[in-house]
């Protein structure tokens, strides 16, 4: 392989704030978003699975703190936008998208969501629910290689259909799950525990704790609970008129037991995922990644701010995610966009949103 390529695009940040493109959003088709992320893989091969190091986009401390006293506060703009915009693709006026300030390095995955077990929840948590999914697995900072402390996360869209060629634009349900926000030394993606309300041990991030120190007050002022994303988007997806929403407080994704472990010292998590799905760099996907979907209504958070542990004692596995395709691409890092569900005081009551119409309306 060639030496690692480091790409730093300090002059290309695009429009970080919620804009007219975001406000005009009325849904998308699955194929529209899928075609975008597969349009420009970084490497050779049918979907970029060929040999060569993947680019690294740097997450910079100075960008997080820019605008604290004067100038554009792009971190605050971006934080508000992920809450307020439901856009699935953000092309920008020049068609080049926007630069992620955090989690800049990712790999997009596609597949299916399926709930197979009885449970009390509504919407797409209900038994028998099936949908198409598009996700992006990323590391929260610059650490992509095995052996580094990194926080693996997944932003995901659930389309309430199994028809890949559907014509009517749909608004997919949004899911945000992540490892401990302070990072873990998880050697294999197989062992990553992704939760909507993860533990937070900020001190593990070293100097990059400065980004977390900046993010905490910004998210707290914009929304309410900075380290957790509720699951009501899924619990209200496909809900019929008059049906009462009921979503679990906690959700966890973890690779189902018995799947192959991809070996390799210093292996980039993006190549690890490629190798699960495109076995021996095959031109077509010959493998897959299956994650258990587990939920609970009970969890206990202990510790102090910035050093908290979330303990959930009674996970119930109710279904599975199956990822069948993957791609690392420019559009996957710069154009696809993932809405972060906004906080509610009562997760099952839409009238208790903390933030509406791009402003905070409740304390």
State the DSSP H helix or E strand holding residue 275, giving kind and residue range, or none if neither: helix 269-277
Q: Which two tokens stand for residue 89?
A: 């693709």
- Residue 60 has a pLDDT of 78
Mode of pairing for the β-strands spanning 355-356 and 316-327 = unpaired
DSSP reduced 3-state for 131? strand
Instruction: Encode burial over 332-360: b for 16+ CB neighbours within 10 A, e otherwise.
Output: bbbbbbbbbbbbbeebbeeeebbbeeeeb
Closest CA to 288 of 300, 299, 303, 273: 273
- Residue 7 has a pLDDT of 52
- Residue 8 has a pLDDT of 46
- Residue 15 has a pLDDT of 92
Count Cβ atoms below 10 Å from residue 94 Cβ, excluding itself.
Answer: 9
Query: Which residues does residue 201 pair with via DSSP β-bridges, in sequence order?
Result: 307
DSSP reduced 3-state for 21? helix
- Residue 213 has a pLDDT of 81
d(C-alpha 90, C-alpha 134), whole Å: 15
Mode of pairing for the β-strands spanning 250-255 and 289-296 = antiparallel
Question: Per-block average pLDDT, block size 10, for the chain (363 residues)?
Answer: 48 85 97 98 91 86 76 88 98 93 94 98 98 96 91 97 98 98 95 97 83 84 92 96 95 97 96 96 95 97 92 97 97 97 97 95 89
pTM of this structure: 0.95
What's the burial of 280, exposed, middle or buried (CB within 10 Å: 0-12/13-18/19+)?
exposed
Collect all residues with Cβ–Cβ distance below 8 Å to 348 and sequence separation of at least 6: 232, 235, 244, 245, 246, 247
Q: Where are the domains of the chain?
A: 6-345
User: What does the CA dihedral 332, 336, 342, 346 come to, rounded to 10 degrees?
Assistant: -80
d(C-alpha 219, C-alpha 101), whole Å: 14
Count Cβ atoms below 10 Å from residue 5 Cβ, excluding itself.
Answer: 11
């Amino acid at each position: 392989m060639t030496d690692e390529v480091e790409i730093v695009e300090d002059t290309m940040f695009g429009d970080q704030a919620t804009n007219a493109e975001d406000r005009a959003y009325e849904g998308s088709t699955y194929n529209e978003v899928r075609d975008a992320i597969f349009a420009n893989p970084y490497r050779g091969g049918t979907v970029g699975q060929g040999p060569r190091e993947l680019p690294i986009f740097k997450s910079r401390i100075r960008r997080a703190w820019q605008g604290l006293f004067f100038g554009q506060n792009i971190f605050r703009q971006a934080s508000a936008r992920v809450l307020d915009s439901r856009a699935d693709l953000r092309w920008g006026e020049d068609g080049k998208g926007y630069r992620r300030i955090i989690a800049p390095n990712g790999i997009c995955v596609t597949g299916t969501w399926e709930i197979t077990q009885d449970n009390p929840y509504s919407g797409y948590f209900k038994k028998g629910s099936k949908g198409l999914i598009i996700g992006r697995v990323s590391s929260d900072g610059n650490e992509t290689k095995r052996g580094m402390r990194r926080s693996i996360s997944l932003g995901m869209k659930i389309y309430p259909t199994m028809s890949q060629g559907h014509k009517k634009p749909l608004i997919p349900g949004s899911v945000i799950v992540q490892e401990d926000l302070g990072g873990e030394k998880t050697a294999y993606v197989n062992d990553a525990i992704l939760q909507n309300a993860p533990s937070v041990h900020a001190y593990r991030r070293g100097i990059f704790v400065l980004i977390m120190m900046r993010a905490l007050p910004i998210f707290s002022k914009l929304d309410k609970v900075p380290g957790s994303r509720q699951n009501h988007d899924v619990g209200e997806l496909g809900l019929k008129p008059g049906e009462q929403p009921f979503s679990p407080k906690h959700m966890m994704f973890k690779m189902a037991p018995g799947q192959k472990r991809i070996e390799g010292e210093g292996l980039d998590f993006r190549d690890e995922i490629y190798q699960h799905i495109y076995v021996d760099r095959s031109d077509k996907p010959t493998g897959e990644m299956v994650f258990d979907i587990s939920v609970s209504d009970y969890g206990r958070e202990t510790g102090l701010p910035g050093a908290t542990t979330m303990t959930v004692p009674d996970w119930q596995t109710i279904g599975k995610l199956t990822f069948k395709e993957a791609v690392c691409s420019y559009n996957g890092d710069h154009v696809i966009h993932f809405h972060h569900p906004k906080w509610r005081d009562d997760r099952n009551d839409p009238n208790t949103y903390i933030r509406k119409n791009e402003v905070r309306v409740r304390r």
